Amino acid sequence: MQRRHLVLVVTILALSIAGLLGSAFADSPVFEVDREFYPYYPSLMKWNKSNVPFNEPKRCSGCHSKQYREWNGSVHSLALKDPIYQGELNKGVKAVGHDIARQCEGCHSPVGMMTGEIKGAGNAGLSNMALAGVSCDVCHSISGVTHCQTPSKEPENGSFILTPGVETKDGQTLIKRGPYKPSENCGGGFHKCDVSPLHQKADLCASCHQVYHYDAHFPIEASYLEWKHGPYAQKNILCQDCHMVDVETFKRSADQFVKPKREEHHHYFSGANYLLTYLAAGAATKAGDEKLAKSLMQQYEMAVERLKSAADMELFPIYHDGKLDELRVRVKNIRAGHNLPTSLTNVRQMWLEVVARDETGKVVMTSGTLNPDGSLPDTARNFNSDGMGNDFHFAIDPWVVTAFAKHETIPPRGYKDVFYGIHFPAELKKLNLEVKLRFRQADQKVAEALLGAVPKDIDLEQIYGLKEVPALPVVDMVVKQATINTSM
């Protein structure tokens, strides 16, 4: 009798555990998932699997040295090694398991995830192909996308198809795809070259730059849709036209809606992630690779310059009954083809710092000045999103966020107005204002938590020379100064 009771208890427990595991991927009537079609779910990548190998970037560099130099040091090349990503991945695996974390790995190292080489956080024991992250052979092996077949019926979580080549009766044929008609000797006998209309579209980038919750399919990151629903898509200025060019060409694309010429495209993939390239430059210097360190610092400088080129501000004093009462600050997104900021908007910080001084330089009002511990005051005007989970409480971890409680980012060519009540001594005749639009990639405490969670094989001191998490660098995107009268 006791044995039968024990068997019954074990059976109930097994069914309960199975139910819990199943609920992690519970289909809803809205977001149905075809598991046979998407075998790596929650990553939505597909692989036309064969024995045709993927080739690491060093092999590509033999014929494509310029492209390799530009890619090496880009955020694509660092996608898997990024210590902040590794800290987040480690936390995610511990919270929800490695099966769910495949969603992240599918875009940060597609080949490493698909082949099963990556089994969790950390870089130890991985091949050069896996460590290369988003490499040459990833982008140039993409043969199609499944955007209309995803659970959300939108691009999400790596919804592309990889076909590095085909097997025929005569052997293997490597196929690499690009946006232009290939020359007669393209591939040099090593691979076949195919022209790919997809590589001339933003859809190529959409698969990984649309990050949705693994189960609820809520868009945690929606850079592609922000672009698609904005004026740059209407003017046929694509992701590649701003992120695969130098800074001056980016400004021209954004200001004049002029597409770059073929020779103006580069494999920089430059965006706003200056922290990653800054950390990697330190690691390259520590390793004695000055050439790579220089390339990484160039990427850092490009990212900072892009940020400083993306926005603008206008200041408007407001008078009531002839007395200065308010300051209106208009923050404008003048060049970003997506919202500002974009990507993980519940982590990014883009805020206003306002300082008002009297004629002697004495501060009479401040807003948005960082606290001594590096945190942003609750009262600061921050252009970000606040995530929340299924319980509608605040959440920041991407495996928890299923909605936004607040969404304050600025659309392309759009603006947000912020009003400040102005208080000053009655005898003051003029106020000297300094207003900054500031940016950093995360809250100081968030960065400390993520870097503190990196797996054991990533030694921050040994690799990056970090004995502790330094104050995160802040970029002043726009600085405006003005002197205004306190009465009309």
Supply the CATH number for residue 403's domain. 2.60.40.10
- Give the residue from 199, 229, 259 where a domain finishes: 229
- Whether residue 402 is contained in a domain is answered as yes
**pLDDT on residue 29:** 76
Angle between helices 444-451 and 83-96 (to 10 degrees): 70
For residue range 301-352, what is the model confidence (pLDDT) as tens digits? Answer: 999 999 999 999 999 999 999 999 999 999 999 999 999 999 999 999 999 9
Measured between alpha carbons, how far is residue 150 from residues 113, 154, 240, 400, 439 in Å? 19, 6, 24, 20, 34
**pLDDT on residue 15:** 40
Rounded to whole angstroms, the Cα distance separating 381 from 218 reads 25
- Whether residue 283 is contained in a domain is answered as no
Helix or strand (DSSP H, E) at 331: strand 323-333
Do 220 and 327 fall into the same domain?
Answer: no
Do 221 and 332 fall into the same domain?
Answer: no
Helix or strand (DSSP H, E) at 113: helix 110-114
Q: Output DSSP code: residue 338.
A: S
Say what the alpha-carbon torsion angle 65, 66, 71, 73 is, to the nearest 10 degrees: 90
Residues 6 or more apart whose Cβ sits within 8 Å of residue 2: none
Among candidates 309, 337, 353, which has minimal Cα distance to 477?
Answer: 309
Preceding omega of 182 cis (within 30 degrees of 0): no
Rounded to whole angstroms, the Cα distance separating 29 from 35 reads 15
Pairing of strands 160-162, 46-47: parallel
Whether 3 has a pLDDT exceeding 80, the answer reads no
Whether 4 has a pLDDT exceeding 70, the answer reads no
Q: Output DSSP code: residue 164.
A: -
Length of the chain, in residues:
488
**pLDDT on residue 25:** 60
Average pLDDT over residues 208-222: 96
For residue range 351-399, what is the model confidence (pLDDT) as tens digits? Answer: 999 999 999 999 999 999 999 999 999 999 999 999 999 999 999 999 9
Rounded to whole angstroms, the Cα distance separating 417 from 332 reads 9
- Give the residue from 201, 229, 257 where a domain finishes: 229
Rounded to whole angstroms, the Cα distance separating 468 from 17 reads 40
Sheet holding 415-421, edge to edge: 311-320, 323-333, 415-421
Whether 1 has a pLDDT exceeding 50, the answer reads no
Do 340 and 221 fall into the same domain?
Answer: no
* Domain with 337 in it: 309-441+476-485
- Whether residue 239 is contained in a domain is answered as no
Q: Quick one: tokens of 284?
A: 């390259």
Percent of the chain's residues with pLDDT above 90: 90
Angle at 308 between CA 300 and CA 439, to 5 degrees: 80
Q: Which residues pair with 202 in a beta bridge?
A: none
- Give the residue from 229, 254, 287 where a domain finishes: 229
Do 53 and 199 fall into the same domain?
Answer: yes
- Whether residue 470 is contained in a domain is answered as no
Give CA 215 to chain center in angstroms: 20
- Whether residue 46 is contained in a domain is answered as yes
Do 106 and 198 fall into the same domain?
Answer: yes
Do 213 and 91 fall into the same domain?
Answer: yes
For residue range 146-173, what is the model confidence (pLDDT) as tens digits? Answer: 999 999 999 999 999 999 999 988 899 9
Do 195 and 320 fall into the same domain?
Answer: no
Angle at 282 between CA 276 and CA 287, to 5 degrees: 125
Residue linked to tokens 């530009």: 70
- Whether residue 253 is contained in a domain is answered as no
Dihedrals phi, psi of 144, to nearest 5 degrees: 180, 175
Do 337 and 202 fall into the same domain?
Answer: no
Do 42 and 145 fall into the same domain?
Answer: yes
Ordered alpha helix ranges (H), 352-477? 444-451, 460-464
Do 215 and 324 fall into the same domain?
Answer: no
Whether 446 has a pLDDT exceeding 60, the answer reads yes
**pLDDT on residue 208:** 97
Work out the mean pLDDT of the chain and round it to a whole number: 93
**pLDDT on residue 426:** 86
Do 224 and 116 fall into the same domain?
Answer: yes
**pLDDT on residue 485:** 95
Q: Which residues pair with 373 in a beta bridge?
A: none
- Whether residue 127 is contained in a domain is answered as yes
Whether 95 has a pLDDT exceeding 50, the answer reads yes
- Whether residue 10 is contained in a domain is answered as no
Whether 16 has a pLDDT exceeding 60, the answer reads no
Mean pLDDT lowest for which of 9-23, 177-191, 205-219, 457-471?
9-23
Q: How confident is the model at residue 424 (pLDDT cuts 50, 70, 90)?
A: confident
Q: How confident is the model at residue 416 (pLDDT cuts 50, 70, 90)?
A: very high
Q: How many domains does the chain have?
A: 2
